[in-house]
Structure 1
Amino acid sequence: MSAVTTAHDRGVTTLALDSPGNRNALSAALVRDLAAALADCGADPAVRAVVLTHTGTTFSAGADLRQPPDPAAFTALLRQVVELPKPVVARITGHVRAGGLGLAGACDIAVGGPGASFAFTEVRIGVAPAVIAMPLLPRLDPRAAARYCLTGERFDAAEAARIGLLTAAGDDVDAVLAPVLDGLRRASPQALAETKRLLTAIVLETFDRDADALTALSARLFASADAGEGMTAFLERRDPAWVL
């Protein structure tokens, strides 16, 4: 069974992360299934745009600590979202943590509802937001990025919109999304592809320059003693040894 479900309506394909047993954590299976679904969307001329959403109360809990994806596969997935010749719109009504923020940040447009919450929790398990920095740092307010990446604090959808993680936030996420999808349906496929290419050029330059080094950094940090303690503490629902 795929960890991603698919629906299609008037040129828009909705891909829903559908792995509630692990809160849509980025497992090897979910990364593989999402990459395959995106490839299908990219090759299908009937798809004008993609909505990336989720089942349950969590968009994505970040990396699956029990069945993590290969860092290179996750890097490739983020780049695939950025390079897809069709706009990708994130629809978020739940919690987003760590690597899930990279997935949202790779999308061209992102909207969030009142149930959404966000946190860069990497520092709390002994790693760093290495790979996700590539799609995120070109978009985020630098001062806000420093605060939230260094502290792991949680913030809401309104703050996510203020700092550039979300395009917009509202009490009714589908009401916010409706004019976005209407606009995409009115645009020509060629115009969307070329306009997206212009808009993502800086992000792709970051991938070209930094992907190998940041993927290696991610792998090294996840194999470190700090990460071992942090992940064990998380799974055991206790504070890691370094907490003062």
Structure 2
Amino acid sequence: MADELVHYEVRRGIATITLDSPHNRNALSSQLRRELREHLSTAAKDDGVRVVVLTHTGPVFCSGMDLKEAAGASAGDQGVNEFPAILEQLWTSPKPVVAALNGPARAGGVGIVAACDISIADVKATFAFSEVRIGVVPAVISVTVLPRLLPRQAHELFLTGETFDAQRAKEIGLLNAATDDVEGEVRRYTDMLALGAPGALAATKQMLQQERSTNLGKVFADMLELSARHFGGPEGQEGITAFREKRKASWVPAED
């Protein structure tokens, strides 16, 4: 049986999913894709999981599709067909997902970074949409990347395939932080996210991703209904009570 390429661990409500295929720079091989999907599903279904952290071993976060597997494959048989499901799992996860990069991301790896809610990279990490340089199109990843990037920079970087650094990735909207202390910054974000109520976080993610009507009255009516539902719901009432009683809400994980 092949060794596991993606590891899963839960501690204090944080599910850590670790890509562990350094021999091919954590490329999206069929095994890695399958295991990643399984672990993302496990985290989404586990009521004890509050936040998901996606990280890696080795010097590279993710180099994109496994080109050795793709060589000689027919159209529609290069793993591309199931990759959208991974990006959709990340994008629609009811639990906030934090990407932690201690190294570069390329192509599909950048799509994964964009699909996460919060992405943090080492200042030395680099990025590139390298697809056009090998004769393919960054089509699937555009679904998660384009909502993050400024339009002018998206055209430049998609068309040239140029490598860019973490600071620029932050400036154009791909990253939340470029830091020399990835672990500390991840911990800062996960600590903040754990303060949010699970249902409220899931509903807020859904609200952020939905298309808005051009009818302003309808938008306000929908948002008023959403707000009222959560104010009057169990989480809202518990949060208000905890605030008044100057205590932590029931969903906040206990300290070690």
- Shift in Å at residue 117 of structure 1? 0.8
- Shift in Å at residue 114 of structure 1? 2.0
- Shift in Å at residue 70 of structure 1? 2.1
5+ long unaligned stretches in structure 1: 203-244
- Shift in Å at residue 170 of structure 1? 1.2
Alpha-carbon distance in 1 for matches of 2:183, 2:79: 34
Alpha-carbon distance in 2 for matches of 1:196, 1:126: 35
What's the TM-score once normalised by structure 2's chain length?
0.76
- Which residue, out of 158, 163, 174, partners 1:154? 163
Match of 2:126 in 1: 117
**SS across alignment from 1:133:** helix
Equivalent residues in 2 for 1:177-192, closer than 5 Å: 177-192=186-201
Match of 1:16 in 2: 18
Identity over aligned pairs, percent: 49
Contact 1:59 1:92 in 2 (8 A): yes
Matched residue pairs, number?
Answer: 202
Contact 1:23 1:61 in 2 (8 A): yes
- Which residue, out of 177, 181, 192, partners 1:172? 181
5+ long unaligned stretches in structure 2: 71-77, 212-256
Q: Deviations over 1:119-148 (max 9, x none)?
A: 110011001100000011011011111111
Equivalent residues in 2 for 1:194-209, closer than 5 Å: 194-202=203-211
Match of 2:46 in 1: 44
1:31 aligned partner, one-letter code: R
- Shift in Å at residue 92 of structure 1? 0.7
Match of 2:7 in 1: 5
1:10 aligned partner, one-letter code: R
Q: Deviations over 1:203-225 (max 9, x none)?
A: xxxxxxxxxxxxxxxxxxxxxxx
Alpha-carbon distance in 2 for matches of 1:7, 1:116: 25
Alpha-carbon distance in 2 for matches of 1:95, 1:179: 22
Moved over 4 A (4+): none
What's the TM-score once normalised by structure 1's chain length?
0.80
Alpha-carbon distance in 1 for matches of 2:25, 2:163: 17
Q: Deviations over 1:154-213 (max 9, x none)?
A: 1111110000111111121122222211111111111111111112225xxxxxxxxxxx
CA RMSD in angstroms comes to 1.1
Match of 1:133 in 2: 142
Contact 1:169 1:176 in 2 (8 A): no
Match of 1:56 in 2: 58
